[in-house]
Amino acid sequence: MAIRMVVTDLDGTLLKDDHTVDSRDIHTLTQLGKSGVVRVAATGRSIFTAAQVLEPNFPIDFLVFSTGSGVIDWATKELTMVMQMETVEVNHIAQILVKEQFDFMIHEAIPQNHIFQFHASGNPNPDFERRCEFYHGFNTPFIPGIPYPEPCTQILIILAASQSAREVEIRKLLRNYSIIKATSPFDKESIWLEIFPLGVSKAHGIDWISNVKGIERSEIFAIGNDYNDLEMLDHAAHSYVVANAPADMLNRYKNTGSNEQSGFTSALESAFALCV
């Protein structure tokens, strides 16, 4: 069956390490558009941070952002789907995380979810501190005892590599929510756990688009590089990971070149050849 939708992660997949896109991959995306293939970028980035690496005329049709919390029609820049966590849930989770001494950040509702409040447990966590500093000017401290006043997009927990065993604890405490894992883009080893309303994932955003466009899962190609891509890769019939993905993902999905080697285009060439 033909491929009618192509989905790619951004950081570490389509984007090179310097946050640019290889000209070969730009050409591939342009040709896909001319062929009528729906082009989707699915990222953990917010609208604000995605716009820092994608030009307004970048050759995609949709942006699935904030790990599936929202979808934008890229041509019109219209928000077409948004999910959020209600205020009572935000405060419930925050109380648990403060009590259990986790380092976390509460991100405002879309489209302002690049702005957040943070709470530090007091335990050493350089990656958490680095993210707070990186977004200096876009964050303020969360003060326990003062209720968070509004819905949010997600709550981000950052675990130092030495705390990785606590992931199981978090999943038990917050089993009624979507918990999406990713590797820190800062130190490449800390664990980021994003807490969303149940059902949020990149796959959810992709499914929303495919329902609008009348595209079957058997007609979807997806490529990624990290754990927050798992749901997306399992959703698509044709799934690849770039060579710089973790070893367990390389063993689970078809492989292609790295993000520095136009792995996106190479994987598509392989996938389209298999569909002929």
Residues 77-121 pLDDT 10s: 999 999 999 999 999 999 999 999 999 999 999 999 999 999 999
**Residue 180: partners with Cβ closer than 8 Å, 6 or more residues away:** 44, 67, 193, 194, 196, 200, 201, 227, 228, 231
Residue 272 has pLDDT above 60, yes or no: yes
| DSSP state at residue 171 | H
Mean pLDDT, all residues of the chain: 97
How buried is 118 (Cβ within 10 angstroms: 0-12 exposed, 13-18 middle, 19+ buried)? buried
Q: What is the pLDDT of residue 160?
A: 96
Percent of the chain with pLDDT strictly greater than 70:
99
pLDDT at site 40: 98
- pLDDT of 230 above 50: yes
188: which 2 tokens?
A: 């490449």
Q: Spell 150-176 as b/e; 16+ CB within 10 A means b.
A: ebbbbbbbbbbeebeebeeebeebbee
Say which CATH architecture domain 5-83+200-275 belongs to: 3-Layer(aba) Sandwich (3.40)
Q: What is the mean pLDDT of residues 26-50?
A: 98
Alpha helices by DSSP H, the chain: 23-34, 47-50, 87-99, 126-134, 166-173, 202-213, 230-235, 247-252, 263-275
Closest C-alpha among 265, 273, 274, 270 to residue 32: 265
Residues 192-213: tens digit of each pLDDT? 999 999 999 999 999 999 999 9
Q: What is the pLDDT of residue 276?
A: 46
Decide if pLDDT at 25 tops 60.
yes
Give the pLDDT confidence score for residue 275 in this predicted structure.
67
Q: Work out the average pLDDT over 251-275.
A: 94
Which residues of the chain does CATH 3.40.50.1000 include? Answer: 5-83+200-275
Residue 274 scores a pLDDT above 90: no
CATH 3.30.1240.10 in the chain: give the residue spans: 87-196
What predicted TM-score, i.e. pTM, was given to this entire model? 0.96
Share of the chain above pLDDT 90, in %: 98
Mean pLDDT of 166-175: 97
The architecture in CATH of the region 87-196 reads 2-Layer Sandwich (3.30)
Res 273: pLDDT: 84
Torsion-angle region of residue 90: left (phi > 0), alpha (psi -120 to 50) or beta?
alpha
